């Protein structure tokens, strides 16, 4: 996704991908590889383009999970989370649905 | 902890064949997801459309049916959510029709690694398209408007863009502008963490809708509706979800309240439209601190 990065295009694609593969093996990733992980929008254009039958979009998602330290590795990046995510869902459900609908649909 | 393989083909085993599933099963669980509850009209329209084509619908959604896709930073929590949800669906014993592309994808790519779904999964666009002849017979109210479809390129699991175009063509009087400007990601919320990208995409689609002379920009997914509907306050077109148009063509009058609240001229007007009873149900303090600011936030196009 170099179009959305001011620096990613300056790096060798092979080196960026190698950093992702290293990350998947539990290694510390170079900053350019982490930037790719961060900037991946999930366009899926990479999937038909890959000649090796790899799903790079899913590979980057798993790399992100690894980089977040979610699998027990040291976290290499942070993911801003909305601490009110689920409470907002409950609030909007209460604004749009009746108690009976919530009981029947969301319990 | 097993994670999905990144080599193709992706998991397909639990997914039905769009031409085969529901041939005999006409009672389904409609898994609408979490964030679509901001749009009660979209949930109701979806249920009505499925029922209109002869399907018995058990809706299920909200946090108690979370797929876990939001928990990449805590895969253990994601696994627990997914297992709990799949166990509920297994207990219901019906095939599952999804609304949310994130839920659909997570079921496809991850959840099968955690547990064993005993049901097939189809997206609502596939089901409505499969029964489009039945649906067409119910779409008797013309909608004489010119629209442009807001599309994304990232939801490869289902050809939603093509299926929705076909469904919109069933609406008498509706003119669909031919536009080709698919946004990255599977829906707009996936771009929210990249605000500059989101602004570029939004700007591009505003210009596309204007060039097309569209009276409405039609969204496919709830997060696109949520993040783009505020454009109606400043742009010469409305923003409407495709199920709302289909339901309207069936004669259903479902008000898009979320959009009305967002484009209300001022905050006091929005609060008055929502009303004290619903604010109380949301929790007044939480509403004022977290819900209202989201409702009033407008899309950035630069």
CATH number, domain of B70, equals 3.40.50.1860
Query: Reduced to 3 states, what is the DSSP secondary structure of residue B239?
Result: strand
A58 and A8: one domain? yes
Domain count within chain A: 2
Instruction: Identify whether residues B207 and B232 lie together within a single domain.
Output: yes
Give mean pLDDT, residues A49-68. 92
Between B112 and A70, the more confident residue is: A70
Q: In this structure, are B152 and B250 located in the same domain?
A: yes
Kindly state whether residue B7 falls inside one of the protein's structural domains: no
Distances in whole angstroms, Cα of residue B44 to Cα of each of B41, B58, B244, B252: 5, 12, 9, 10
Question: Does any CB of chain A come closer than 8 Å to the CB of residue B184?
Answer: yes
The pLDDT score that the predictor gives to residue B73 is 82
**Residue of A2, A6, A35, A42 to mutate for B, most B C-beta atoms under 10 A:** A42
Separation in Å, CA of A7 to nearest CA in chain B: 15
Domains contained in chain B, number: 2
Domain limits for position A106: 80-107
CA gap B168, B183 in Å, rounded: 20
A82-99: per-residue pLDDT in tens?
Answer: 899 999 999 999 999 999
What's the sign of the alpha-carbon dihedral A49, A50, A53, A58? negative
Q: Are residue B159 and residue B227 in the same domain, yes or no? A: yes
Tell whether B196 and B232 lie within a shared domain: yes
What confidence score (pLDDT) does residue B8 get?
45
Same domain as B147, residue B253: yes
The three-class DSSP label of residue B136 is helix
Its domain, for residue B53, covers 27-129
- Do A53 and A104 share a structural domain? no
Question: Based on the domain organization, do B217 and B161 belong to the same domain?
Answer: yes
Q: Which of B82, B108, B129 is the last residue of a domain?
A: B129
With H, G, I as helix, E, B as strand and everything else as coil, classify residue B160: helix
- Within-domain flag for B22: no
Confidence at residue B122, expressed as pLDDT on a 0 to 100 scale:
96
Same-domain pairing of A86 and A104: yes
- Identify the CA nearest to B241 among candidates B298, B133, B167, B140: B167
Which of B35, B70, B72 is facing A65, going by the closest CB pair?
B72
What local confidence, expressed as pLDDT, does residue B1 receive? Answer: 56
CB contact under 8 A, A58 and B65: no
Residue B203 is assigned to a structural domain of this protein: yes
- What's the confidence (pLDDT) of residue B76? 86
Regarding whether A50 and A92 lie in a shared domain, the answer is no
Residue A3: band (very low, low, confident or very high) from pLDDT cuts 50, 70, 90: low
pLDDT tens figures, A7-48: 888 999 999 999 999 999 999 999 999 999 988 988 899 999
Domain boundary among B129, B158, B179: B129
**Is residue B106 domain-shared with residue B174, that is, in the same domain?**
no
Pair (B233, B145) in one structural domain: yes
In a domain, B267, yes or no: no
Q: How large is the ipTM?
A: 0.91
B282–A92 CB contact, under 8 Å: yes
pLDDT digits (tens, 9 = 90+) for B127-145: 999 999 999 999 999 999 9
Bond from prior residue into B48 cis (ω within 30 degrees of 0):
no
**Burial tier of B300 (Cβ tally within 10 Å: 0-12, 13-18, 19+):** middle
Residues B174 and B68 in one domain: no
**In chain B, which residues have pLDDT < 70?**
1-25
């Amino acid at each position: 996704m170099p179009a959305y990065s001011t620096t990613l295009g300056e790096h060798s694609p092979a080196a960026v991908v190698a950093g992702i593969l290293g990350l998947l093996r539990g290694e510390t990733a170079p900053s350019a590889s982490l930037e790719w992980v961060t900037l991946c929008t999930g366009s899926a254009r990479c999937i038909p383009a890959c000649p090796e039958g790899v799903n790079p979009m899913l590979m980057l998602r798993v790399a992100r999970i690894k980089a977040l330290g979610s699998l027990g590795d040291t976290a290499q990046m942070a993911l801003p989370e909305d601490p009110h995510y689920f409470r907002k869902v409950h609030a909007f459900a209460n604004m749009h649905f009746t108690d009976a609908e919530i009981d029947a649909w969301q319990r | 902890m097993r994670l999905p393989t990144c080599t193709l083909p992706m998991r397909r085993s639990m997914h039905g064949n769009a031409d085969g599933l529901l041939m005999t099963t006409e009672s389904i669980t409609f898994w609408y997801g979490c964030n679509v509850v901001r749009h009660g009209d979209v949930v109701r329209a979806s249920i009505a459309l499925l029922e209109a084509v002869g399907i018995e619908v058990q809706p299920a959604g909200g946090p108690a049916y979370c797929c876990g896709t939001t928990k990449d930073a805590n895969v253990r929590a994601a696994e627990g959510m997914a297992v709990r949800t799949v166990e509920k669906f297994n207990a219901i014993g019906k095939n599952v029709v999804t609304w949310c592309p994130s839920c659909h994808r997570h079921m496809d790519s991850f959840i099968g690694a955690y547990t064993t779904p005993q049901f097939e999964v189809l997206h609502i666009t596939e089901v409505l398209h499969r029964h489009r002849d039945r649906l067409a017979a119910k779409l008797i109210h013309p909608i004489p408007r010119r629209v442009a479809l807001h599309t994304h390129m990232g939801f490869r699991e289902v050809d939603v863009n093509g299926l929705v175009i076909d469904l919109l063509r069933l609406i008498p009087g509706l003119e669909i502008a031919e536009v080709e400007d698919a946004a990255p990601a599977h829906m707009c919320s996936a771009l929210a963490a990249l605000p500059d990208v989101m602004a570029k995409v939004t700007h591009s689609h505003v210009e596309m809708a204007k060039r097309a002379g569209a009276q409405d920009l039609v969204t496919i997914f709830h997060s696109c509706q949520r993040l783009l509907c505020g454009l109606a306050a400043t742009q010469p077109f409305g923003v409407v979800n495709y199920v709302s148009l289909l339901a309207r063509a069936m004669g259903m009058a479902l008000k898009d309240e979320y959009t009305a609240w967002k484009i209300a001229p001022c905050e006091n007007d929005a609060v008055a439209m929502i009303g004290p009873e619903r604010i109380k149900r949301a929790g007044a303090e939480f509403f004022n601190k977290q819900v209202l600011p989201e409702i009033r936030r407008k899309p950035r196009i630069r």
